[in-house]
Amino acid sequence: MKLVVVGFGQCGGRIADEFARLNKRARGQRGTEIIIGAFAVNTDAADLSGLQTIRPDYQHRILIGGRRTGGHGVGKINELGAEVAREDGDKVIDALRTAQRFFETDAFLLIAGVAGGTGSGALPIVTQMIKDRYMDKPVYAMTVLPFTHEETTEERTIYNAATCLKSIYPVADAIFLTDNQRFVRKDFSLRNNLSQINALMVEPFYNLLCAGEETRRRHIGARMIDAGDIIQSLVGWTVIGYGKTQLPLFRFFSFGRNFRKKSTETHRGIQAMDEALSELSVKCNPAESGRALYLVSAPVKEMNMDLVKDLGEYLRDMTPEAVIRNGDYPREKSVIDVTLVLSELGAVEKVKTYYEIATQFIHAAKGREKQAESKLREIEDVAKDIPSLL
């Protein structure tokens, strides 16, 4: 599957940069192209300068709202981010056409952190613009949810997240929910932690995108997952997970195939599926998903019908109501890994919580506004007999 990736704001731009790096890896390791074009859109020029892989020209690093913000961001006010996107959204649409082989694009992936100003404001606006312009291609959004400390210390964070998620849901074909907090590593420095988080968010897409673009016969699976399968599997709230099990180094030197070895092979696959379920990008109930897709990647000699069958039965128990699609990708050398996508989710608890807290925030803000007006009137009444120098 080939994507055009657009990142909005600081968070979205850095993750789009990670996708550009993933494409370089796919070209070097597998000779395939999975990202047709990677773009970063921001109101802050400094954030655009900090990217590493996305091309540094103005058509790939797009500064919007320069007249309104002076290139210094929108100060976490997503209403201003949305206004700027409406005014300068055509810059983004025009830039997308500059991607080489743009006509080969299977879908668009737009990325933003929902807690900020530029990303959460611009994401739904530009998504709608792209949907109106390219009606035959699906548009997916990847929404990055804030850290716990951001939720507890900054009221505006929850408000931005709720308004962005509510606005993007009816516009995008599917929304990948990704929770920053699930990827935190306590022993990393702040800079390394953020880089590691971005890499972990992007990693599950690698095999999923590469499988359908594979051209070498020995790496094409018996049941291949391609763009059509992925498009049919993505609707509404969506999560993605990735798990892997390391294989023994000297496994091929054992002679014969006894029942213990056969059981161990299946167990390794189940272990990878368990990890994929536990590492889903947002905590959710798999039983509430309406669609599911999983891709198994392993060495050719480890790939067999029993492994795929047992994984399918295990996922069926976890997602009894879902339409399940599956595929195999005989690519990896020393691991069995599973990429899992759960889509068409019902009530995601995290999203529901954002909506509830944001509603309380709006009511509280109105109360504070009325209180401030009352105090201002009191001061004006006291000062009414004092002459003004104006």
What is the per-residue burial (b if ≥16 Cβ within 10 Å, else e) of 129-163?
bbbeebeeebbbbbbbbbbeebbeeeebbbbbbbb
Task: Tell me the pLDDT band of 260, cut-offs 50, 70 and 90.
Answer: low
The size of the chain, in residues, is 390
> What local confidence, expressed as pLDDT, does residue 188 receive?
58
How far apart CA 10 and CA 22 sit, in angstroms, is 19
Q: How confident is the model at residue 295 (pLDDT cuts 50, 70, 90)?
A: very high
Whether pLDDT at 25 is above 80: yes
What CATH number is given for 3-202 in this structure?
Answer: 3.40.50.1440
Please state the rounded mean pLDDT for residues 257-270: 66
Looking at residue 12, its pLDDT comes to 94
Confidence of residue 263 (pLDDT cuts 50, 70, 90): low
Model pTM greater than 0.85?
A: yes
- Find the mean pLDDT for residues 212-241: 89
**pLDDT at residue 288 above 90?**
yes
**Domain 3-202 identical in fold to domain 218-343:** no
Closest CA to 8 of 114, 112, 124, 90: 112
From the CA atom positions of the chain, what is the Rg in Å?
A: 24
User: Residue 58: pLDDT above 70?
Assistant: yes
CA–CA separation, 214 and 243 (whole Å)? 21
What does the domain layout of the chain look like in residue ranges?
Answer: 3-202, 218-343
218-343 homologous superfamily? Tubulin/FtsZ, C-terminal domain (3.30.1330.20)
Q: What angle do CA 301, 323, 314 make, to 5 degrees?
A: 50
